[in-house]
Structures are given as C-alpha cells and as structure tokens.
Structure 1
Amino acid sequence: MKLFLAKEEGKKSEAKETRMDFEKSSVSIKDDTEMADDDTAQNPESSRKLSSDSDSSDSEDEAEQTQQLRALESDLSTNPSNYDAHILYIKLLRRRGEIEKLREARENMNVLFPLTPAMWVEWAKDEASLLNDSDSESVEKLYERGISEYLSIPLWREYLNYVLQHDPKVCDSSVDGISKARNLFERAVTAAALHVAQGSQIWDAYTQFEQSILLTIDQSDIQAKENQVQRIRSIFHRQLSIPFANMKSTLLSYKAWEVEQGNSLDAESDNVDGISSHVASSYRKAEEMYNARAHLEEHITRQGISESERYQHFMSYLDFEKSFGDPARVQSLYERAITDFPVSSDLWLDYTRYLDKTLKAGNIVKDVYSRATRKCPWVGELWVRYLLCLEHGLASEKEISAAFEKSVQCTFSTLEEYLDLFLTRVDGLRRRLSSARGDDVLNYSLIRESFQQATDYLSPHLKNTDGLLRLHAYWACLELKLNNNLTAARGVWGSLLKTCGSMLEAWQGFIAMEIALGHINEARAIYKRCYSKRFSGTGSEDICHAWLRFEREFGTLDDLDHAVQKVMPRLEELQLFRLEQESKSLTEVTNQRERPLKKTASEKRKLGSIAIDEQSPAKRQKSTQNQKKLHEKENTRGLKLAEANDGEEKKGKVEEQVNEQLVKDTYSSKTRLYTDQCTAFASNLNIRAIDEDLKQFFSDVGGVTAIRILHDKFTGKSRGLAYVDFKDEEHLAAALAKNKQMLLGKKLSITRSNPKRGKRESGALTTSEHDSNQSGIEGSSASKESVEISKGSSVAPQVPHSRKHFESIQLKGKNTFAVPRNVKPLGWTTSKPGTKKEEDEKPKSNDEFRKMFMTS
C-alpha cells in the first residue's frame, strides 16, 4: 500500500490543488492586489489611480456576471430543456464559488440530461475540496452515480484514486479497508474487462494495489506472503487472457515480476517461452482476438473524424461482435458507444432490442432501460418496452406505476405513442389482474382509471380516428369480461358516440357488441338512432343496408317492413343528393375549363386549326396543302358521281393503294412506338375530360406513367377514348377494378388494352395506328371516320383523283341509300369479313342512283 501511495504522490498534490478550485477567482484578485501593492511601493504617485482602476474593473466584471446569471436563471425557468444554458449557468456559478446554487443547478440538470463523465469528475472534485477525508461518503456517492450512467475508464480511475487516497480505512491498510478496495477493483475490472482500448489501465492499477499490499506483509509470515503472491499472479493471468491494445507490455511486466519472485524467465523477450502452457495458450488466443479487432478499434478511436462517421464505425464493429455470439463483448461495446453518443435514440433502441433478445429480463436489462428513458425520454417506444421489461422481471405495482407516471409526463412526437403507452399500461394491468398474483393487490379500478386518463388526454386530439375507437372498444370489452358490468360497457360506447357520433365504425362497434350478447332489441334501437345520420363516403347508405340485413337475419316480418319504410325514403334522398353533388361538380369543372378555352368567332370557323397550330412549320404547310386538295375533291365529288354509268362495274384492285395513300397523307408524322404491355383502355369518357381528370380518377390506384386521350385527327376534339399506362401489373389490376365508376357524370368503361388485336404484320403500332386499331374498337373507330367523310365534313382525308377511287369506298351505317356497291370501310382488307348488317343492307342500283342525281 505504501508503494502504491508513493507512486500516486503526484496525484495527491493535484488533489490538494483541486481544493482551491472555488478560490481561484479570489486568489487571482489577491495576486493582482499584491502586485498592485508592489507597484505602489515603487511608484507612490500612481497608487491612487491603480487602486481605483482595479476596483472599477472588478466591480464591472461582477456586475456583468450577476446580470448574466439572472438572465440564465430566467431562461431556465421558462425553458428548462436548454442544454447550453445549463452548462453556462453551472460554469458561472463555479467561477463565483456559489456552492449551494451550484449543487442545485447540477441536480436540476441531471434530472433532465445525462452529465458527461468529465462533469461527474468535476462535481466530485468540487465536493471533495470542501470536505474532510472522514466525510468522503458523499463524494463516493457522486462517483457511483457517474459510473452507473457510463462505462468510462477515466471516471473509474478517478473513483479508485479517490477511495485509495481519502478513505481512512483504505489508507491505513486495515482489513475492512483492503476488502473494500478489492471489491471496488473487482467491480471496475468487471465493467472494463472487455474495453479493448483502455481496459488494461484498470488491471494495471489493480496489480499495483496488490503489490503494495505485498510489501506491507511481514517477511516472517510466509503463508500470508505466498497467498498474496498467488493473488497477484492470478490477476496477471486473468489480464493476459483478455485482448487489450497493449498486451505485449502486460506480458513483459508479468515476466519481470516473476523474475522478482525468483523464477528464471527471459524478461526482455515478448514471447511466451517459459510461462505455463495454459497461460501461454490463453495469451495467444487473446492476441488473435485483438488482431482481428485492431482495425475496428482504430476506426472508432481515430481523431479528426465526424460524429456520423464514428457512429457508423461503431455499428460496423457491433455487427462484427454479434457475428461471434458473445453477449458480454457486444454489451461492452454498446456501453462504449452510448458513452460517445448518450442521446442517440437509434442506438438506445438497438441496444435494448439486443438485450431483450439475448437476456430477456433481469437487473441488467432493467438498468439499461432506466438509463435509456433518462437519456432519450422523448421516445415512446423506449417507455413501452421499459414497462414490458418491468413486467417480465416481476416488478411491483409501485415500481411499474412510477415508471408509467414518469412516461406520461414526457413529450412525444406523435399521439400514437401516447396511445400505445396507455394501452401497454392497461395490457399489463389486465394480465396481472387475470393471473391473480399474490404480491400485488390489484383491482379493476386501476384499469378504469388508466382508460379514463387516456380518454381525457387523447379525445380532443384523436376525434373520429381509429385510435380512439380502438381505445374505447378495448375498454368496453374489459368492462364486460373482467368487470362483468354491461351498464359500464354501454356507457363507454355512449361516451365515444358523444365525441365521434359522425364515425360509422363507432356505431357499428356498439351494434356488434349488442348482437354478440344476443340483445336484438337494443341493437335495433341503435339502428333507429343512427340510420338517418350523415356519414362520410357511402357510410349513410351502408348503415341503411346494414339495418335491412339485420332485420332479415334477426327480425320478424313486421320488423323488416318497418325498417324498409324507414330506410327506403332515406336511400332515395341520399341518391338524389349524390346526383345533385355530381351535377354541381361537373358544372364547376366544365365552367373552369371553358373559360380559358374561349375562341373568337373567326377562330371557331377554322376547323382543324388547333391540330395544325400544334405541328411544326414544315408539317403545318404540308397539312394545309392536303386540306386544300381535300376541299377541291369534295367540291367535285357530286360531278364524279353524276358521271357514273352502268358500265362502271369493274372492280379495280385499288383498295390497298387507297389505304396506303390515306396513311401517308393523314398520318405523315411518325411518333414513338407503343406496345401497351401494361395499359388500360378507357371508353365512354366525357369529351371535356383532360389528362388531369384521369390522373385524379386513378389517384387511389397509383402507378400511372402516361395518359393518352385520343383526339379527332382533323378537329382536335376528344373522341371519348383514352389509354392509361401503368408501371406494373398490380396497379393495372387495381385500375381495371374501377370499371363502371363515374367520371364527370359518365360511367367509365375500363378494359385491358390488347395490342395484339390491332397489330399489323409490319410490327409494333405507331401512334396513328394505335388510335385506330387497338383494344377492340379498331373497326368502330374506322367506321366513325368513314361516316364523317360521307357526311361531307369540312376537313376530309386526301384521296386520289382516280375514278376508281369511288369504287373502293364503302360507307357504313344508315346513310347508305346513295352508296355504290363497291364502297369499303376505311382500312378494310380482303382478309376481314364483312358483318351481317353489311350483307343485309341493299344499296341502290346504278340506274336508281343515276336517276336520283338527274332529278335533283
């Protein structure tokens, strides 16, 4: 012991200097005053001026500090969570030497925030400087509080040094003192044994302490001396079996000590030759373990890296340790990590999850949860799992209740965290009440109080939400099962309906409880109360239909008739209301779109101008030329028909030429290819609908990648058809489920686009072919275009002047009284058979045709 104390003599002087921490300011002032006195003796003429300057400077500094302290006190009273304000306040109080306020400030800060190991050491040293060695117990308590929060090797060393230097029993080397010191060292090496970087410091201090004890043993007491030598040897062996950063230094120290004990070893060599085989084997294994972790230790201890980088290095190190499956090493590394990141909620959550999985329960896990909730009190999940941990550890109701009361005083980021906390508390009470444990006297009133507390707090914030419904449904269920009180259960539902009366699910839950209990009349009474209420969405219709189903299943014929008499007028009223709402929305949408789309009278007369303006100049010029030619051909159409005679029955094979010419003229601009691998085809679309309407219509489905509304090729007007591309089959299937739903007053027909039906032999469809040939409407689209041509629209596709052209054109529909026999539908090929209607129609003969024009 004397040897150990001699080695620590330098540290004693440092401790004595610490006693003067609170007197630094006064000493500084005193030194300044003495210097001023010396200057005054040498220069009496300036003495008065120097004295006045010193007094004024001190008074100004003191006044400034006082003002700053008042400002900090005011700030902390209104915002106690200001961490920086706490730090500055403690610093100023320590500088001024205001002991009582300093203690109070540190305690207040420690209630809200964890103190760093350096702050614990500073606090302990400040208290030690004010006490005698006989009053060291209060300082030791401060060190105990510090080591309970962190795994800090420097903090442990300060604690050990303080006990060895200031505890009278330890200093006197009494039996009780030595036993106390050894117990403290064992606790220290247990905590720091696996700290690869700094753990050997505790072991070295332990061996030095035991060596000092060896020197105090009388040389004549051979047995006691031998026992102490064996104790020191055992400590060395334990240390050599643990991977540390300076293992070779420890090996050399051990061999040198063995040489002092008379054993022949090569103390200068760092190999294991000469030592016992089991120690050598343990040392080699520990050395391999350290070499495997050396690079990871270097990463987490490197200076000059950011906090985020260090955190990631810790996570990588933890993954490495977990792969070996040693919980002690993993836990030690977690403790090192939280020392560097004490308020990292992600780290605490990860740490506690690991302990829950490996240790399940126990004082170690409970202690970690206690620290986690103090370091990160704003994380609701930590409190929830803390309560579960206490329940696993069979904690008393007093302890669990205290933890719960602390948790509800914290501020969480979401209301769901509060709800989860209340439900966890009720879950625990229910389980313990059901198990009827004898150590706690529990009754149902605790559950009811917890539910009432949750309702009072959450109801204003969770109105008409599933969370509040879940809380009340659980409450009503427990009132029935545990408390056997039907009146109380109905009261719970009644209180919920006062808050969430417009929530359909609340009424349905109440009705379901009554039906489950067989109370048919009570359930019917609830239906009568709520069927006329207005619920969101289709809830009003749903409750009406639910009442009818209820009467069919449980009621008499009179009950069903009565329900029908009540429900049917209500359903008609709701249907009328829906139609009015849809009409209003459609009118509003139409008005909004027509305002920006107004044209002047001259612009309206120019049909097709929109489609032309959107083209490039070169294409616009070509399109204009094509339209002029089409107008000329339209004007000469009657003359060519009049010149038809009986001999014009030759069937020229010009159909393919006409089709090719039409494709070249009307679809001259080729665009990108569409394969429609995952595309929905929508028909019966309102002509005023735009891309945004379809996007909104499929917003609940999602996954829309492109929308293509088909427009007339010449007028630019919508054709009421559209293609909607989706990113995958799942979204497409959901879109197809929306078939026959209303969009802008019309039921939208939605089918899957089938590109193979309209694909030609040449390959994939272009945009023009896509518009005419896809999704089962190819023929009808072409027919509509043919009808438009037959009606003499102002803009028609360009056709050749050949006389045979009229032999290859066939109009469809009812306006076929003046159609030659050889007219074919647009895009018709010889491989496409005609429909039955086409075969049944009998066009006029050539004679009738000629007579009709001649008479006109």
Structure 2
Amino acid sequence: MSTASNFSDNESNFSDLDQFENQEESINAISETIAGLLEQLSNNVYQYEVHVQYIQTLRKSALFDELKEAREMMHSIFPLSEEMWHEWIEDESRIASTKEEKQRVIQLYSKAVQDYLSINLWKEYVSYIVQEYKNGLNEMELENESECTITLDQVRKIFDEANRETCYYITESHQIWDAYKDFEVEILEASPRDEQQNIRVKKMYESRLKIPHATVDKTFSDYSSFITKYDNFNYENVMIETNKYVSETKGKYYERDQYENALTASNNPLDKFMDYIDFEKKQKKPVVNAIRTLYERAIANYYFDNTLWENYMLFLLEKYLIDKKVSISILIKTAERSVRNCPWSGDLWGHYIRILEKNFSSPEEIVNIYNRALSIGMLKNNIDDLIKVIISNVDYERRKILAYKGPISQENGSSLVNLLEEGIKLVKETFQIDDPYYRLEKYLIEIETLIKNLSKARQIWNELCKNHRNESEFWIRYADWEKAVGNLDDVRKVYKRASQQNTDWPERIFDAWEHFEHQYGTVDNFELAVIFIKKQMTIVAQRRERAALEEAKNAQSEGLSQVVPAMQVAEDNKSLEAIDSISSEQYSDTKKRKPEDEQQMEELPVAKRNKAQQFEKPKRDREFATIIVSNLPFDVKEGELKTIFHECGKIKEIRFLVDTVNAQKTAYIEFNEKESVPAALTKDKKRIDDQEICVYRISERILYVTNFPPSIDIEELFKKYGEILSVRKPSTKHKTNRVFCYVEFKERNSAQAALEMNGRELEPGKKIVVMISNPLLKKERSAPIQTEVYVRNLPSNVEQNELKSLFQTYGPVTFVRIPMTNDNKCKGFAFVEFENKAHAKASLALNSTEFKGCVLNVTLSEINRNQIQKEGKINEREKNKISKRRQEGFKESEKRSKTVAFTKLPKDTTEESIRNMLSQKFKDEAISKITMSHDRCAYVEFEHIEDAGKAALHFNKYKLENTIISAVIRSDLPSTLAELAVQRDDKPAKMTMVPRRLIAPSSKLGTKRGPGKIGIGSSSKKGQLVKSTKDSNSFTENQDDETKDENNSKKSNDYFRNIFYNSSNS
C-alpha cells in the first residue's frame, strides 16, 4: 500500500509539473506574440489590424495596464468600432469603484459617441449616467450633489446632446428621447408643484411632436395623458393646437417611411442612403440636422468610403459658407473624423487644412496637420492624393503671405519656393515618376515668375520638356507663358521647337503659331511661320503613313486570333456570327435580294463586294454624327469647343445643356458626317481649364425599349435611374400597335443602370426589352423556319394558353405569339413554334377545323427554299446557342461594367494581396470575384457598378509594392490592335492615330497610289478615317445582326483599311 501511495503521489507531482511547464510555455508564447506585435507597431504605428490583434491578445492575457495604453494609442490614430468601444467601457466600468474611476467611464462614453453615430452606445451612455446619478442620491441622505459622480445639470447636458444627435434618426431615436422624457417626468412626479419642471417636460413633448419619428402616435398619446394629469383645465385647447402640427409630422414620417423600408429591405446599401439624402435635400425647407443624421448613418456603415466623406464635407461647407446653418466647430470635428477614417484621401486632408485656416488656427497647428498627413504614409499609394495635400499646404502659405506681408515678392516668396521644391522632390522619391500633369511644377513656375526669377522658371520649362515633349498642350502652355512675360521672339522659338517634335496633336501647335503671328507678327514673321509649318505638315503626314503601314504589317504577322482572347471573346464567336449573318440577311423576309442583284455581287471584285455588303445607311445620321461632351467648365464658350474639335471634321452645330442648380454644362456637338465621330472620341479625358472632360456617343445614353404594355407610363418607369430628357415614341398615324420607344437620359450612367429592367415581367408572360440604342446594328426581322406554323382566322378573344393547349396535342410547343391590338384583342392571326419540324407538320391537321366558332387556316410559315439549298440547312443547335447568347448579352455587359481590370501588377501578385489592397476601401461583401490572369493582370468583379467605378478611380496610378498599377473598368478595355499595343509593357505603341490625351485625328491615312507603288489605299478627306466594311476583329455585345467576311484567306489592302477604321471606331 505504501509503494502504491508513493507512486500515486509521484504521479500527481509529475502532473502538476507538466501543467506548470505547459503554463510557462503558454505564457512565453503569449509574451513573444505581444513583443512581435509591439515591434510591428514601433516600425509603423499606422497598421489598423495589428492594433486590433495587439489589443485582443492583451485582453486575453488580462494585462490591464498595458491594455489601457494600447487602446489609448490606437484611438489616438484610428476611430474604434462600436464593439471595441463596448469592450473597453465594459472592462473599465467593471472595476470602477471610486468617483474618479466612474468619471473616467463617462469620459470614455463621451469619446465613443464621437466616432460614429450609434444608438446602442448613446443608450448605454444615458443609462449609465442616470444610474450613477440615482446611486449618488441614494448614498447621500442629505442629497448633497457635490459628492455625486455626476450632477443633475451634467445629466441634462448629456441628454440634450444625445437627443440633438439622434432625434432625426426616425426609426430609432425614440429609444433616447423616451429615456430622457422618463427621467424628467420622474423628477416632476417627485415635485408635482414644480412649475418650471412642468414647463420643461411640456416643451420637450412639443418639440418632439414636430419631428417625424416612428412612435409619433405613442408620443402624442403620452402627451395627452400628461396634459390630463398636469394641465387638465386647458386640455382641449392644448390638444387642438397640438393636433395641427402632429398631423403634419405624421405626413412627413410617411413620406420618409418608404426610404427607411428600402434601407431595411436591402441591408442599408449606400445608393439607398444617397437616394434618401437627395430626397431630404430637395425639400422646400431642407432640415440640415436631418441630412447630417443620414450622412452619419451612412458613414457608420461605409466609414472607409472617402467619396461619401467628401460629399458630407461639401454639404457642411455649403451650409457653413452660404446658409450659415453649420458651426465651424462641427466642420473641424467632421474634418478630423474624415481623415482618421480615410487618411489616404488628399481631398479630405485639403478640406481639413482649409477649415483650420477659416478658423484662424495657429500656423503651428496647420503645419502639424500637414506633417501628420505625410507621416501616416497612406498618401504614398496615389500620386494625385499626395499632390493635392502639398498644394493645399502651399495655398495656405501663399494666402498667409498675402494677408500679412503683402504681394508675393523676392523677399517673402522663398518659403513658397522651398515648399514646392520639397513637394516635387517628395513626389519623385515616393513614386519614381513625375506628375503627368506637372501641377507642382506649374505652381512653381508661377511663383518664380511673380518673384521675377524668369531664368529659373524657364529652366523648369526646359526640364519638363524631357517628359512632355510629345504633348501639344504642354508646348501651348510654354508658349503662352513666354508670351505673358513679353518675350515674343522666345515664343517663336518655342513654337518652332514644338513643331519639330513628334507630338500627339501637331495641328494644334500649327494653329496656335499661326494665330500668334496674326496677332503679333510682321509680314515676314507670318510668311516664315507658314513656310515652316507647311514643311512640318508634310513630315507629319509621312510619319503617319509610315506608322499606318507598320501597323498593317504587324496586324498581318500577328493575326487577328491574338486579339480575340484579349477581348474575352468566345472561341465559337466566328461560327455564331456566321449563323447570325445567315439568319439576319439570307433569311430576311423584309429585305430580300433580287437574283440579278446577287449575280452582280458575284461579278464584283472581292474588295468592292465587301464594300457593297455594308450595313444600309440609316435615313437619318444625326444620332450617328453627334457626340456629347460632359463635365465642362461652367464658363466654357462655343469657340473653345470648336478649337478642340474642328480638326475632327466639319461641325454642323453645337448646343449647350446648362444645369444652373448644379453649375454643370454639357455640350452636344453634331458633325456634318458621322465619320468624324471616331476622331472626336479621342478627345476623351482632355483637360479644359484643368478640368477633365468626358466625350462619348449620344447613343450611349439612349435606350431602346419595347415589348411593354401600351398603358404603362415609360417616364414614370425609368425616372428612378436618373433625369430623363425625352421619351420618343413612334408615330401612330398609320399603325397604332407599334409598342416601342427611345428613352434619352441626361447621363449615360443612368442609361447603364436602367438596363437592369431588361427581361422584367411587367405583365404575366410579357417581359420588357431594354437595350442601349444602336440603329446601325438593329435587328432585322428574321424569316420563319419550318418548326413554325402560321394560324389565321382566329377569334379576337383567343388567349395564349388556349392556343398552346390546342396545338400541343401534336407535340411540345416552344413559343406562341399572338399579335394584339391596343385594346389587347387578337388581330386574327398567330404564330406557333414547335420543337421540331415533324410536330409542326403534324399540327397541319388542324387546318379547316373549328375553334371557338371560327374555321382555322393553319399553314407552315413560308421560307425561301432556294436560299436554304444554296447556303445549307441552319444548324438548330448552333441557332439555339445564338439565341441564348443574345439573351445573356446584357448580363455579360453588366458584368463587364462591374469588373475592374488591374494591370501592370508587380510580379508574383496573388489574389490575397489584391484583397488586402481593396480592403482599405471596400468591405469583403462588396467584392464578388477575383480572377488572376497572365501578363500581370487581375480582374475584380464587384457586386455593384458604382463600386467598380470607385475602385477604378481610386486605384488607377496606385502604388502597390513600389509598382504603379493601372485600373480600368473592363467594359472600357481596348478592343483593337492599336489600343492593345498602347498598353503593352514590352511593346510601345507605334500607331499615333488614337492617343489618349489631346490626340488629333489623322489628316491622311494614306496617299493615292499609282501602279506598282506600295500603299495602303486611297486617300481620305482631312480629319476623317477610311470607312470600314466589316468589323472583323471585335465582338459587339447585345446586337443581333453583325456580319463578317469569313471566306477571304488572302488579305487585301481593303482588309487592312478595315482594321484601321475599326481601331478608330472602337
């Protein structure tokens, strides 16, 4: 027994020893983890996730003092989530026993409700202070408030703040107000004769009943009981007066209830918040605090969205500067919160610096904010944001000099020069590239000019020439500067130097030089300039022809097969389009070709035959010859637009659409010929007065809508997607059954958003069709095939299901179409389609039978058998694939619009690194899918189109692992050889006809050639491109009748002309 006992004791000792060793190992592991996290933070304190992990580790280890310091350190840099605040306050309140410790808990609550709008935190806050106030009163029998943790005045002050911040949160604010009311009523019940307290509670009710909220009926009922108890003598008069504004309050609540329901039903998406905010802004008398509350609610869900913060800041600034309804203290607090949430936004830092300047803050405080913006390091990911912050700081310094030291001179301007030079150096060191818009350099040139240091300014211009010598706009600016400082001979030198460069728009330089000589030159000056310009124009034409020939050779050697994968076109695209061609042209019952026409076509040479097979020219070219130019400066003049677009072709008319409310201007530019449009589209992204314009076809914001009930209000149906300029319906003079229309939106984004209506069932069995308008590719009516029967002599009251039941006894019916009159009655005939030809023939047995009192006439739908024998039977399986593809066309288009292509990524970039980059701006649920591709590319599909747009805007020119990446919406990706060449890293573009920035259209693509000479075709008119016959290397989504020449294995010069035209037309 003794031996067994000793063995048991030893075993117990060993077990305790193992447990001790395990605990020691666990403690060591935790200590190592804490040390590692602390080291990471010491290297870079701006790591949000590391802070969170550090705090969680300390909390699990019960290291309270270190935990307290860690939380304070994190909160000094970042806002904390509601959950983190709840944990912090819970930990502090659990051990708070002294007056000082409880006041610290109150201080934590005060900080917590400043980060984000949270009903839960406010509710806990007011509940805590009420409880502490009551505890203090209970402990002090003499009710000596000086010994309490919190006084009555302090409680009321906190309640007032809570009510002010939450009262317009109409679905949840009652939780705060009810607690406030109960607190005050309890005080009144303790002293019923206290007249002041009676008035206080009564005013609370009156104020509350004027604000829309979910429990307005309960509040009114409680007020009725209150008046009965404390002012029953005046009950009738008080309640009659109260009922007047309560009715109005209820109406306001019901107007807003639909927006609240939309938020609840769809889990608070940002676009629903913005709709709600727009509604509040459009009220006759907008309530600033109601709009602020909505912005705060949106921010609580989308705190990393810098665009949302930017909109919020602009709203507050407008109310501060114009309406004086927002205090400077609110501006300062909101600006501080915005940069704590989105420290990568240069716009938000700029607002913060300017708001502090408005507040007459000390120079030291503003300098500290500037240094803080730079030290965080998050501005190093985007060159634009960094430059915006630098410019904001220089602006402040410039205004300070003007305010206190007078005009900028050599004596006081050195500080501005130093700031700009430091900024230029910082940008170069950070991004290893120069600013493509040389904004800091332009600013520095202006300052050097003001302080009369012209040699230094000219030196900067010459240094900029190294990187911008190919940009015509750069040379124009340089010449304008020389003209402004009065050196006319130097202006000529600049123009001459510019004319000799291979610029993106040489004609722009030539015109500017001629215009200058008209104004300032002598006869000799002018003639010499014209002579020099003519020589340079010849050189430019030769250069363009060489480039075109080189591109043609490249196209021939590479082959079009390499383009198809880059455009994500299906492998079977050619066969599909070939069958499309058969169905739309060869089996058309609306545009049949005469036999003699076919014979003439066969006799034509290949090139001319291709040209003859183009789409038929529309009767009206206005929509094809018109472009839209948006995002124009509000003061832009017609002459400025003519200067930019006159090289593209002859302008017929320029019309402006002016939005005075939003200070926006949009131009419609109609050319004489539609061939001018491709060249005009190259002006997209050009800058006018440092404002980037958008150029696009007019058809991009026009919808073609059909197959809808005649009684429906089209404008009412589509107005939710954006402002509608017009709804055009066909004339009903001859045909009253033409149910289609064109809906023109003010913005093309609205038209894209409205595509979601496509396929929606507005009536049982009737799905609306919504497409972007493109009459050139309109679907021609296809001829019937032998699976379809034509039924005549039908009664007017026949139903679709009745006809289907009648015919499906002979085989499965796939489709029944009954043309209807405006009053929804059958026109007397219908089409019934079966699964196969045998069933269709079997159904002919119904011919001459009686149906609902009418004798039916049933025949096979007619078809041109000669063409079938000539071209061969259509493969039904392939035909179904086409039909399915067309149905999915809009889904694919929408998918591409929601997908962002990230290119020029660092080598070995993984999906995880892409997710980490996107996490700073988007939540995980905003991202649908990430697809990694070869050639350093990644495709990110978002749940919403607007998120894709924000990602493309934010992450373009973003610095990822010391590499500047590109981001572009996938639907905007290049689809031509020329554009693809521009984006290849290892192969710079040789074709200069379609440059991105201020690109002139080629004046001549080729010269007329004689026998035996090498050339690419006949000359085109100035400012136009050679017309294409077929688009042989692009896939047009959502259109029906695209044709291709598949038979010519030998490539003619017309073939290459097609390629060049397609390049410019994409």
- 1:319 paired residue number: 278
Partner Cα distance (2:271, 2:434) in 1: 43
Partner Cα distance (1:595, 1:193) in 2: 67
Query: Pick from 54, 58, 80: which aligns with 1:93?
Result: 58
Partner Cα distance (1:351, 1:465) in 2: 29
Letter aligned with residue 426 of structure 1: V
Q: CA deviation at 1:205?
A: 2.4
- 2:214 paired residue number: 245
Partner Cα distance (2:363, 2:228) in 1: 60
Alignment check: 8 A CA contact 1:90 1:102 kept:
yes
CA deviation vs aligned residue, 1:530-564 (integer Å, no higher than 9, x gap) = 5898655687997999699879966898x999x99
1:372 aligns with 2:338: yes
- 1:381 paired residue number: 347
- 2:296 paired residue number: 335
How do 1:2-401 residues align onto structure 2 when only pairs under 5 Å count? 51=16, 54-55=19-20, 58-59=23-24, 61-73=26-38, 76=41, 82-131=47-96, 132-166=98-132, 171=137, 177-214=151-188, 225-258=194-227, 261=230, 263=232, 276-301=239-264, 306=267, 310-324=269-283, 325-360=286-321, 362-363=327-328, 364-401=330-367
Alignment check: 8 A CA contact 1:299 1:310 kept:
no
How do 1:585-604 residues align onto structure 2 when only pairs under 5 Å count? 586=549, 593=556
Alignment check: 8 A CA contact 1:740 1:750 kept:
yes
Of 346-355 and 531-540, the range deviating more from structure 2: 531-540
1:416 aligns with 2:384: yes
Query: Pick from 415, 425, 437: which aligns with 1:467?
Result: 437
Q: 1:745 to 1:389 in 2, by over 3 A?
A: farther
Q: CA deviation at 1:151?
A: 2.1
Partner Cα distance (2:483, 2:256) in 1: 65
Q: 1:539 to 1:96 in 2, by over 3 A?
A: same
How do 1:659-674 residues align onto structure 2 when only pairs under 5 Å count? 663=600, 666=603, 674=615
Q: 1:490 to 1:282 in 2, by over 3 A?
A: same
Q: CA deviation at 1:672?
A: 5.7
Please state which structure has a larger fraction of its residues in helix. 1
- 2:1057 paired residue number: none
Partner Cα distance (2:498, 2:269) in 1: 62
Letter aligned with residue 121 of structure 1: H
For CA contacts below 8 A with separation 6 or more, give which structure has more relative contact order: 2
> For this pair of structures, how many residues does the alignment match?
596
Q: CA deviation at 1:523?
A: 6.0
Q: CA deviation at 1:395?
A: 4.7
Partner Cα distance (1:662, 1:297) in 2: 68
How do 1:511-660 residues align onto structure 2 when only pairs under 5 Å count? 512-519=480-487, 536=503, 586=549, 593=556
Q: 1:555 to 1:405 in 2, by over 3 A?
A: farther
Partner Cα distance (1:207, 1:94) in 2: 38
How do 1:608-757 residues align onto structure 2 when only pairs under 5 Å count? 663=600, 666=603, 674-677=615-618, 738=1002, 740-742=1004-1006, 745=1015, 748-750=1018-1020
Letter aligned with residue 342 of structure 1: Y
Q: CA deviation at 1:93?
A: 0.7
Q: CA deviation at 1:576?
A: 8.5
Q: CA deviation at 1:335?
A: 1.6
Any stretches of 5+ residues in structure 1 without a counterpart?
A: 1-39, 266-271, 597-614, 617-658, 681-694, 707-730, 756-765, 769-856
Alignment check: 8 A CA contact 2:405 2:412 kept:
no
Q: CA deviation at 1:490?
A: 4.0
CA deviation vs aligned residue, 1:240-285 (integer Å, no higher than 9, x gap) = 43333233444444455555548489xxxxxx97853333333333
Alignment check: 8 A CA contact 2:475 2:509 kept:
no
Aligned to 2:55, what secondary structure does the other structure show?
Answer: helix
Q: 1:256 to 1:57 in 2, by over 3 A?
A: farther
Letter aligned with residue 239 of structure 1: R
Aligned to 1:750, what secondary structure does the other structure show?
Answer: coil
Identical amino acids, percent of aligned pairs: 23
Aligned to 2:344, what secondary structure does the other structure show?
Answer: coil
Q: CA deviation at 1:511?
A: 5.1
Alignment check: 8 A CA contact 2:277 2:294 kept:
yes
Partner Cα distance (1:506, 1:254) in 2: 71
- 2:818 paired residue number: none
- 1:784 paired residue number: none
Letter aligned with residue 257 of structure 2: A
Aligned alpha-carbon RMSD (Å): 5.7
CA deviation vs aligned residue, 1:359-397 (integer Å, no higher than 9, x gap) = 436322332222122211222232333444444555554
Aligned to 2:168, what secondary structure does the other structure show?
Answer: coil
Q: 1:741 to 1:592 in 2, by over 3 A?
A: closer
Partner Cα distance (1:735, 1:408) in 2: 36
Partner Cα distance (1:116, 1:423) in 2: 33
Q: 1:129 to 1:551 in 2, by over 3 A?
A: same
Alignment check: 8 A CA contact 1:531 1:540 kept:
no
Aligned to 2:304, what secondary structure does the other structure show?
Answer: coil
How do 1:816-835 residues align onto structure 2 when only pairs under 5 Å count? none
Q: 1:60 to 1:282 in 2, by over 3 A?
A: farther
Q: 1:246 to 1:480 in 2, by over 3 A?
A: same
Letter aligned with residue 675 of structure 1: E
Partner Cα distance (1:541, 1:323) in 2: 44
Any stretches of 5+ residues in structure 2 without a counterpart?
A: 560-577, 580-595, 626-676, 684-695, 698-773, 778-993, 1008-1013, 1028-1042, 1046-1066
Q: 1:170 to 1:571 in 2, by over 3 A?
A: farther
Aligned to 2:379, what secondary structure does the other structure show?
Answer: coil
Q: 1:202 to 1:491 in 2, by over 3 A?
A: same
Alignment check: 8 A CA contact 1:241 1:282 kept:
yes
Q: 1:174 to 1:164 in 2, by over 3 A?
A: farther
CA deviation vs aligned residue, 1:740-788 (integer Å, no higher than 9, x gap) = 4437746742269999xxxxxxxxxx999xxxxxxxxxxxxxxxxxxxx
Alignment check: 8 A CA contact 2:476 2:512 kept:
no
CA deviation vs aligned residue, 1:326-383 (integer Å, no higher than 9, x gap) = 2221112222222233223332233223323334363223322221222112222323
TM-score (norm 2): 0.46
- 2:982 paired residue number: none
Partner Cα distance (1:115, 1:421) in 2: 25
Q: CA deviation at 1:415?
A: 1.9
Letter aligned with residue 91 of structure 1: Q
Letter aligned with residue 186 of structure 1: D
Q: Larger Cα Rg: Structure 1 or Structure 2?
A: 1
Aligned to 1:233, what secondary structure does the other structure show?
Answer: helix
Alignment check: 8 A CA contact 2:420 2:444 kept:
yes
Q: 1:45 to 1:170 in 2, by over 3 A?
A: same
Q: 1:241 to 1:540 in 2, by over 3 A?
A: closer
Q: 1:189 to 1:467 in 2, by over 3 A?
A: same
Aligned to 1:749, what secondary structure does the other structure show?
Answer: coil
Q: 1:417 to 1:49 in 2, by over 3 A?
A: closer
Q: 1:211 to 1:422 in 2, by over 3 A?
A: same
Partner Cα distance (1:532, 1:663) in 2: 50
CA deviation vs aligned residue, 1:203-228 (integer Å, no higher than 9, x gap) = 222233334444665x9xx5xx2322
Please state which structure has a larger fraction of its residues in strand. 2
